[in-house]
Amino acid sequence: AVKRIGIIGTGIMGTDHARLLTEAVSGAVVAGVFDLDTERAAGAAASSGGARVFADPYELISDGGIDAVLIASSDATHEAFVLACIEAGKPVLCEKPLAPTVEGCARILEAETAHGSRLVTVGFMRRYDPGYTDLKTLLKDGAVGAPLMLHNVHRNPAAVPGLPDAAVITNSAVHELDVTRWLFDEEIVEVTVHRPRATAQGGGTQDPQFLILRTASGVLSDVEIFVNARYGYEVRCELVAEAGTVTLDAPPPTSVRRGGLHARELPGDWRPRFAEAYRLELQDWIDGTGGGATAWDGFAATFVAQACVAALESGERHSVDLPPVPALYR
Amino acid sequence: AVKRIGIIGTGIMGTDHARLLTEAVSGAVVAGVFDLDTERAAGAAASSGGARVFADPYELISDGGIDAVLIASSDATHEAFVLACIEAGKPVLCEKPLAPTVEGCARILEAETAHGSRLVTVGFMRRYDPGYTDLKTLLKDGAVGAPLMLHNVHRNPAAVPGLPDAAVITNSAVHELDVTRWLFDEEIVEVTVHRPRATAQGGGTQDPQFLILRTASGVLSDVEIFVNARYGYEVRCELVAEAGTVTLDAPPPTSVRRGGLHARELPGDWRPRFAEAYRLELQDWIDGTGGGATAWDGFAATFVAQACVAALESGERHSVDLPPVPALYR
Amino acid sequence: AVKRIGIIGTGIMGTDHARLLTEAVSGAVVAGVFDLDTERAAGAAASSGGARVFADPYELISDGGIDAVLIASSDATHEAFVLACIEAGKPVLCEKPLAPTVEGCARILEAETAHGSRLVTVGFMRRYDPGYTDLKTLLKDGAVGAPLMLHNVHRNPAAVPGLPDAAVITNSAVHELDVTRWLFDEEIVEVTVHRPRATAQGGGTQDPQFLILRTASGVLSDVEIFVNARYGYEVRCELVAEAGTVTLDAPPPTSVRRGGLHARELPGDWRPRFAEAYRLELQDWIDGTGGGATAWDGFAATFVAQACVAALESGERHSVDLPPVPALYR
Amino acid sequence: AVKRIGIIGTGIMGTDHARLLTEAVSGAVVAGVFDLDTERAAGAAASSGGARVFADPYELISDGGIDAVLIASSDATHEAFVLACIEAGKPVLCEKPLAPTVEGCARILEAETAHGSRLVTVGFMRRYDPGYTDLKTLLKDGAVGAPLMLHNVHRNPAAVPGLPDAAVITNSAVHELDVTRWLFDEEIVEVTVHRPRATAQGGGTQDPQFLILRTASGVLSDVEIFVNARYGYEVRCELVAEAGTVTLDAPPPTSVRRGGLHARELPGDWRPRFAEAYRLELQDWIDGTGGGATAWDGFAATFVAQACVAALESGERHSVDLPPVPALYR
Ligand SMILES: [Mg+2]
Ligand SMILES: [Mg+2]
Ligand SMILES: [Mg+2]
Ligand SMILES: [Mg+2]
């Protein structure tokens, strides 16, 4: 049976998801959309083969013609919509962050626990990227032995000038917080944030930042997060282990020799880089095979991000004291 | 409306296609399958969500519950099944070759012309490979200027010992014949085949072979085809043009440092290498947007392959005198 | 006029230097050698075209037939031999470290200052590596804008089991301390050392270690130093700047496809990796054009290394309070 | 004892050789120079530490203060100067070609045979390139099994407009003729030359050209020679063997990320690409260890080049019927 999906928020991400669900995913149709900008919603509905445009997101969530909900609206709205989905007993895929505050995430954990089964998936799409899954497979298969370090680089060409320092962590580095937890299957227990010389291109933002994350078993995961790197979008990492290392750099299939250079193109932003990850994430969500990030993962990402923000401000090491994992997520 | 697909032939390729249509393509279901091996057919049907198993392939083709047909049976059967699909007025995706002989291909051209519109797509999946489409886009955009040469390498780890020399061309190099025609949008007009020293691993086959193809505008496309290359599966090419070159090598996303080497893994066969191409080919076929190889392309590939076989035997240059393109394919 | 070189210490490094001076450097002969192991000295002398074997290193230094001295003996002996060279007014190339202690280095600075001109060169050969000089040229030419970070990786396949933690810094990471100072033409002012999970292959050594160095202008240089990395020898870095990055990875000229892998070989130790650097270092020293590391550079390297050792032990950030640069070295 | 070298011809190559002999080679001095342009000769002499400027090249050759001669004058003069060196009994390193005609090369073989020992080395410097020697070592060590094919690419950014078609072979592709003979230690017995569509940038020259060389054991070596490739200078090859392949591409040590590209720089011409080869060639020649190309190699290169020119003109396969190797060169 084809799943009828409702999408809340039809900005860049929501529109991309609508397109993928319509054109590239098996077993799904976009049945409803909502956006504060009704024209934008109408456009997304039209290109999704005639989805219904809802005037109220809560109506969409509770409508009998909607089997599951995808939330791609602004961060501040995530909590309320996710809670409404749980209330309605419907599966929900929520773009990261699950909620901007630890408290908001905690309320979702409570609601889902009260509901008694998992309904929430958080859109940490890198868990579906073929490069990251390849890396994790190699690690799990023991190809390079026990892990010791992970070096991460995460660069965007440009951010809003004067972006708050904390947002560099909560918006961008949060992906590496999740990657670190997911790859090693353990929690981050301590964080330090170093301040390199800041680029003059950032309008005053502390950019780049250099995070040092320690996992429960002692693995050190360092993250260069640089949101005004100018030259292009790039996400890379190297796993360092006892018998070797694995590098994820995801080169494109072609290279060009021209004008004195032998070059491969870099993507301009995250969408071409993670296009396949988004498709696989959506297909997996539709299949209901449950491979994505849970509400607990969303909570932990926000929790660790807050610790990193505190560490950035203090310049000190901060321990990360996550509460015990609720039974539903073990 | 979801398209109901019938699959004839559920060997390796047919089963892969059934899986993709079921799990990774939007807008399709596998509604029927046929295979001489009824157990194999039943297995494919079961994993396709309960497709009907047909006892007769022609029944499948004419059945009212089948909208379109995918042919992945043995090469010798392609012609008859394709003709039956045309007779039934149903779209058909036929694995290469369209037919093993020029005469067989010609009969299909005639039947489709008599039918009056295009129904046949030939499964030259490389036309959908992101690397090849990237290459063609760069060429069409003028990124490196006018084309002069194309160097192709096509290696398989192992073939049947003593494979006939001609089969190296008709089974394997035929992909490069199609790539050359597709990339440059023109016909191959002359071919030469050189005989390098043969590997001792081929059981007597002339392997590798080295084809030199000349297109109508004079571009030279050389092809090293080596079906007992042992070390892995690899398809690469370099386009040489007036202002630069484009190389397609499609590296995997990760590399490993271990045991004194920094290495990227090579695929073991063509399926992982072209997995994305197959998915996109099927999606495009289901969408009916008509980007695939036509019956004329299938005819031309077989025609040029026959000229290459003759050139291999004679050691001389052979001109390729294709008949005029029928109106339906212009 | 050909320079007559005396070599003190004919172990691995001294013998390599003797060979290079004899066979690959213009304008030099090895005229004298000394080693505690007289047989080893005799061997080095013989393969250097008949150099004189000295029974006493101080005799070698003061001998009228020796124009300049190369010191490749054990670390603890460096100070005394360098001081004797200064005393004799002879140019001296001393393998790193200049002296194992800050105090020993300081005594050399004083002696050279008293002498009134520079005689001492410290063997930080990376300053001559074509990759590092390429990197510095790109930085100085503004190819990627103002520098912000430098990520360094320095791996050896194996170290003595149970190597003291401090030796990982003073023997190995000291190269990155010098590289950081040399590349950015400024001093390191603050250091932190993180302790990743230690490899089980190190016999108890804290290995790898992760150093964070801050320069006077705020550039952050991080160093993964890993002396039991098993898989091979590797030195890499990436300079991150305002408009782009430069990566130094020095791939070998060939790659091999075999057994399912496309691989480049990694060197087994530092000598093949830096063979060209050693040759250029020696040629420059013989030419007397003065491009190498000075006694001040040797002092600073030891000084910063000591700060890193303290930071490793405390787990805290340590500021590095170098004394003012003596006039001779400005 | 230091060898006193006389250089005939102080154009680009002669000046480069003079500099290397003076600054980077052990055991040599430039003692004399000759050039038709006396000012240019005086400049080369001055920067070689005061070499004598000769007014007559034959005087230089016969002068008692010259131990060996390096010939870097125009191609047409090579034969006479080499013959004079043989007459004088002096070792001579002659830039390729040994002589532009087969007959000229034959006269040198006769003269050297009459002399009774080898004096002549031909400057096929690629035999000293670390990439090519690495490739040969891998082949000889059996790393990839028995050889079957060699794919060569040889590109220059620009040639004289309207360069004669034959010169593309005799000036440029001649390097691959020598490489093929040297790598496989056997003669080329058959050649074919294909004409790809010519670039509009060559002023009428048949450029690129595509050579197919067959060795005595049946190995096929194909050569794309393209002297107006515009984008840069590049020499690459891939050896295809029974168990794997070896690629020589000689990447530079650094890469740059900038402006949407991850790129490595390509050299602008052959001198930076083969700088190390030239140094090692000269050092080996000075050492007299005899690893370079002999007069027979020079003869064979010119002989095969002539066959290729004939094959280019006829469009047919040409067999290459070299005379028996004279005893002196076996
Ligand atoms: Mg996301
Ligand atoms: Mg196919
Ligand atoms: Mg050193
Ligand atoms: Mg040359």
pLDDT at residue number B140: 98
**Of the partner residues C194, C201, C240, the one whose CB lies closest to the CB of residue A224:** C240
Distance from residue B238's CA to the centre of ligand 2 (Å): 21
Mean pLDDT of the C108-134 span:
98
Whether the predicted pLDDT of B5 surpasses 90: yes
> Do B242 and D147 count as a contact with CB atoms less than 8 A apart?
no
Q: d(Cα C249, Cα C18) in Å, to the nearest integer?
A: 28
Q: Provide, as residue numbers in chain B, all residues whose Cβ is less than 8 Å from the Cβ of C232.
A: 257, 259-261
Mean pLDDT of the C162-174 span:
97
Mean pLDDT of the B33-41 span:
97
pLDDT at residue number C181: 98
State pLDDT tens for residues A15-65. 999 999 999 999 999 999 999 999 999 999 999 988 999 999 999 999 999
Q: Which chain D residues touch C if contact means CB-CB below 8 Å? A: 2, 22-26, 28, 129-131, 134-135, 138, 143-144, 243-259, 276, 283, 287
Mean pLDDT of the D163-182 span:
98
Could you write out the DSSP letters of every residue in A188-207? EEEEEEE-PPPPGGGTT---
CATH of C126-329, one of 4.10.780.10, 3.40.50.300, 3.40.390.10, 3.30.360.10: 3.30.360.10
The residue of chain A with its CA nearest to that of D258 is A231
Whether the predicted pLDDT of D128 surpasses 80: yes
Instruction: Indicate the range of A176-180, A313-317, B18-22, C290-294 predicted with least confidence.
Output: C290-294
- Return the higher-pLDDT residue of A294 and D291: A294
pLDDT at residue number B322: 98
**Of the partner residues B200, B219, B317, the one whose CB lies closest to the CB of residue D196:** B219
Mean pLDDT of the C108-130 span:
98
Average pLDDT, chain B: 97
- CB-CB contact of B221 with B152 (8 Å): yes
Whether the predicted pLDDT of C205 surpasses 90: yes
State pLDDT tens for residues C18-57. 999 999 999 999 999 999 999 999 999 999 988 999 999 9
pLDDT at residue number C285: 98
Q: Provide, as residue numbers in chain A, all residues whose Cβ is less than 8 Å from the Cβ of D262.
A: 263-266
Strand partners, A254: B248
Distance from residue B253's CA to the centre of ligand 4 (Å): 40
Phi-psi region of D154 (alpha: psi -120 to 50; beta: other; left: phi over 0): beta
Whether the predicted pLDDT of C1 surpasses 80: no
**CATH no. of D3-125:** 3.40.50.720
**Of the partner residues A149, A226, A238, the one whose CB lies closest to the CB of residue C196:** A149
Give Cα C284 to chain centroid, integer Å. 15
Mean pLDDT of the D303-328 span:
97
Whether the predicted pLDDT of B290 surpasses 80: no
Distance from residue D240's CA to the centre of ligand 3 (Å): 39
> Do C143 and D258 count as a contact with CB atoms less than 8 A apart?
yes
Q: Provide, as residue numbers in chain C, all residues whose Cβ is less than 8 Å from the Cβ of B234.
A: 257
Mean pLDDT of the A110-139 span:
98
Beta strand pairing status for B209-215 and B28-34? unpaired
CATH of B3-122, one of 3.90.400.10, 3.40.50.10490, 3.40.50.1100, 3.40.50.720: 3.40.50.720
Ligand nearest to the CA of C93: 3
- The CB density around residue B249, as the number of other CB atoms within 10 Å, is 17
> Do A210 and C220 count as a contact with CB atoms less than 8 A apart?
yes
Q: d(Cα D49, Cα D7) in Å, to the nearest integer?
A: 14
Report residue B266 as tokens: 């090579």
Distance from residue A19's CA to the centre of ligand 1 (Å): 16
Q: Three-state SS across chain B?
A: CCEEEEEECCCHHHHHHHHHHHHCCCCEEEEEEECCCHHHHHHHHHHCCCCEECCCHHHHHHCCCCCEEEECCCHHHHHHHHHHHHHHCCCEEECCCCCCCHHHHHHHHHHHHHHCCCCEEECCHHHHCHHHHHHHHHHHCCCCCCEEEEEEEEECCCCCCCCCHHHHHHHHHHHHHHHHHHHHCCCEEEEEEECCCCCHHHCCCCCCEEEEEEECCCCEEEEEEECCCCCCCEEEEEEEECCEEEEECCCCCEEEEECCEEEEECCCCHHHHCHHHHHHHHHHHHHCCCCCECHHHHHHHHHHHHHHHHHHHHCCCEECCCCCCCHHHC
Distance from residue B124's CA to the centre of ligand 2 (Å): 5
Which chains form contacts with chain C, at 3 or more CB pairs under 8 Å? A, B, D
**Of the partner residues A153, A208, A243, the one whose CB lies closest to the CB of residue C231:** A243
Tell me the residues surrounding ligand 4 (ion) with CB < 5 Å.
D 96, 123, 125
Q: Provide, as residue numbers in chain D, all residues whose Cβ is less than 8 Å from the Cβ of A264.
A: 261-263
Q: Where are the domains of chain D?
A: 3-125, 126-329
**Of the partner residues D2, D143, D256, the one whose CB lies closest to the CB of residue C138:** D256
Mean pLDDT of the C150-167 span:
97
> Do A261 and D260 count as a contact with CB atoms less than 8 A apart?
no
Could you write out the DSSP letters of every residue in D37-48? SHHHHHHHHHHT
- CB-CB contact of A124 with A301 (8 Å): yes
pLDDT at residue number C95: 98
Q: Return the SS3 of A132.
A: helix
pLDDT at residue number D289: 83
The proportion of chain D whose per-residue pLDDT surpasses 90, expressed as a percent, equals 98
Q: What ipTM did this prediction achieve?
A: 0.97
Q: d(Cα A1, Cα A26) in Å, to the nearest integer?
A: 10
pLDDT at residue number D285: 98
- CB-CB contact of D162 with D205 (8 Å): yes
DSSP state for residue D157 in the 8-state scheme: S
pLDDT at residue number D110: 98
pLDDT at residue number D1: 76
Ligand nearest to the CA of B235: 2
Burial C212-225 (b: 16+ CB within 10 A, else e): bbbbeeebbbbbbb
Interface test with C, best of B233, B234, B257 (most C CBs within 10 A): B257
Closest-CA residue to B322 (of B302, B300, B293): B300
pLDDT at residue number B289: 84
- Residue C167 main-chain phi, psi, to 5 deg: -65, -25
A–D: how many Cβ contacts below 8 A?
47
Mean pLDDT of the C283-307 span:
95
Q: How confident is the model at residue D172 (pLDDT cuts 50, 70, 90)?
A: very high
- The CB density around residue A183, as the number of other CB atoms within 10 Å, is 23
Mean pLDDT of the B18-38 span:
97
Report residue D111 as tokens: 């003269």
Report residue B157 as tokens: 């780890």
Average pLDDT, chain C: 97
State pLDDT tens for residues B200-223. 999 999 999 999 999 999 999 999
Whether the predicted pLDDT of B1 surpasses 80: no
Mean pLDDT of the B214-239 span:
98
Mean pLDDT of the D182-200 span:
98
Whether the predicted pLDDT of B291 surpasses 90: no
